Structure 1
Amino acid sequence: MATLSKEILLPPLDATGVQPPLFDGTTRLYTCYTCPYCQRVWITRNYKGLQEKIKLVPLNLQNRPAWYKDVYPSNKVPSLEHNGKIIGESLDLIKYVDSNFEGPSLFPDDPEKKKFGEELFSYIDTFVRTVFSSFKGDPAKETGPVFDYLENALHKFDDGPFFLGQFSLVDIAYITFVERFQIFLSEVFKIDITAGRPKLAVWIEELNKIDAYTQTKIDPKELVENYKNRFLAQQ
């Protein structure tokens, strides 16, 4: 994977932001720079070298433009404008971008790896929900099993440090949440998610060598403040 040139990011559009022309032949990713779901599609786009093909349209979700609901009626991000239609849902979108655009393939042909990849996709909601709910409970106890699940999953294939051996959509789907959970659990609860999980530690380290991912990372301080307000303010 070649080194990516640093992308100049446009400021997010708020309620006063002008809508780009719809269906003018431009492929657009409606996104939010701090959203883990959007980050998945952003990483996929970057890794496949599609910075010129898929334009980012960043939105301010706290003060989002009214016109966005007309673009995508669920009013959520991410969504992709492509070939005269708008599609959403981040896991569907990363698969769509991988299948419908040029660039290195991000899902293996090997049947065993494909099957395991789908298993990991189906587990991700449980993983995310468990960690989020632990913030109001006992994170050390409640998050242990789900991070152990990831550690064990990383033992499945030994032809590389990633879930399916080689870097894939599965890594992209998980890292955007693991990134946030690692920061928050360490900062607020003094929990090191990699302690006793050597494969997970190497996985995070290897992902941080991939420009397509590192260029999308969030500001840790902003994340901690955001999560404190969101999860701990009522306690």
Structure 2
Amino acid sequence: MAGTEFRVYATPVSVYSCKLRLALALKGLQWREVEPPGGYGSAPYRAIVAQGTVPALVHDGAVLAESDAIIEYLDEIGAGPLLLPGGPQARARARALSRFIDTRLEPAVRALFPFVGSDGAVPEATRATLSGQMDRFAAIVGPGPYLSGQSPGLPDCGFWAVAAVLETLNRALALDLAMRWPTLAGDDLPECADHLRAYRTALAGWAAARGAPT
């Protein structure tokens, strides 16, 4: 993809921004990352990205939102190695895993955010919902090391990002949750390790700013 620029709108602690960074890194792509002008969801940013969400990709005259759509677009234009496996069944399974992470696991993790730095305890119902989604996820993943098969792919990027958030919240809220998943193989990939380390640092800073232990 020589001669084309990938401009990414992202924020430091956004789980979906991290997901896209990991995908871009796995693809071996170079990109220019900028924060949304005026801040996340602002009118100036919505003038560029109508959804007002992060991440967003600007490439070849197109403005694209939603991390899965962006990553599949990169696959379709031949930008780096494919992050969806070959074969319709394998691709469907990878998409289903990614969808579960985005719509079941991540919202259950995000429900913990309001309690970081607060005096209130995490309600038992919130803990139970998260525990249930963690159990369901553990039941549908394969033996690893990657969710997509023998190489890292779309669902791995989302999973590694969400797992980093949960690790941070587990410490910040003293939840003592037992992690129920395979080895976080992203930490062993040179192209991803630095991005995951930087993301954990950003998350720790966010938690510390709210007075939570990190």
Determine the C-alpha separation between the residues in 2 that align with 1:173 and 1:79: 15
Determine the C-alpha separation between the residues in 2 that align with 1:222 and 1:209: 23
Unaligned runs of 5+ in 2: 116-121
Aligned pair 1:152/2:152, yes or no? no
After superposition, the C-alpha distances for 1:39-67 in whole angstroms (9 at most, x for unaligned) are 1111111111111xx32223477588864
Determine the C-alpha separation between the residues in 2 that align with 1:48 and 1:63: 26
Change (3 A) 1:223 1:86: same
Change (3 A) 1:102 1:118: closer
1:168 Cα offset (Å): 0.8
1:43 aligns to what? 22
Cα contact 2:40–2:53 (8 A) shared by 1: no
Aligned pair 1:189/2:174, yes or no? yes
Determine the C-alpha separation between the residues in 1 that align with 2:93 and 2:50: 33
**In the alignment, which of 54, 58, 65 is matched to residue 77 of structure 1?**
54
After superposition, the C-alpha distances for 1:82-128 in whole angstroms (9 at most, x for unaligned) are 12121111121121123224322111113332221122233231222
Determine the C-alpha separation between the residues in 2 that align with 1:106 and 1:92: 12
Determine the C-alpha separation between the residues in 1 that align with 2:209 and 2:13: 10
Q: How many residues align?
A: 195
1:75 Cα offset (Å): 2.6
Unaligned runs of 5+ in 1: 1-24, 230-235
Determine the C-alpha separation between the residues in 1 that align with 2:37 and 2:193: 22
Identity across matched positions, percent:
19
**In the alignment, which of 162, 165, 176 is matched to residue 149 of structure 2?**
165
Change (3 A) 1:154 1:56: same
2:33 is paired with a residue whose SS is: strand
Determine the C-alpha separation between the residues in 2 that align with 1:177 and 1:226: 20
1:87 is paired with a residue whose SS is: strand
Cα contact 1:44–1:169 (8 A) shared by 2: yes
Determine the C-alpha separation between the residues in 1 that align with 2:177 and 2:211: 18
Aligned pair 1:116/2:93, yes or no? yes
Determine the C-alpha separation between the residues in 2 that align with 1:60 and 1:182: 30
* Structure 2 residue identity aligned to 1:151: A
2:194 aligns to what? 215
* Structure 2 residue identity aligned to 1:171: D
**In the alignment, which of 114, 122, 129 is matched to residue 142 of structure 1?**
129
Cα contact 2:40–2:54 (8 A) shared by 1: no
**In the alignment, which of 82, 107, 110 is matched to residue 132 of structure 1?**
110
Determine the C-alpha separation between the residues in 2 that align with 1:228 and 1:129: 23
Q: Which has the bigger relative contact order, CA under 8 A and spacing at least 6?
A: 2
Change (3 A) 1:108 1:187: same
Determine the C-alpha separation between the residues in 2 that align with 1:63 and 1:112: 37
Determine the C-alpha separation between the residues in 2 that align with 1:227 and 1:185: 15
Normalising by the residue count of structure 1, what TM-score does the alignment of the two structures yield?
A: 0.71
Determine the C-alpha separation between the residues in 2 that align with 1:141 and 1:69: 36
1:92 is paired with a residue whose SS is: helix
1:118 is paired with a residue whose SS is: helix
Change (3 A) 1:76 1:119: closer
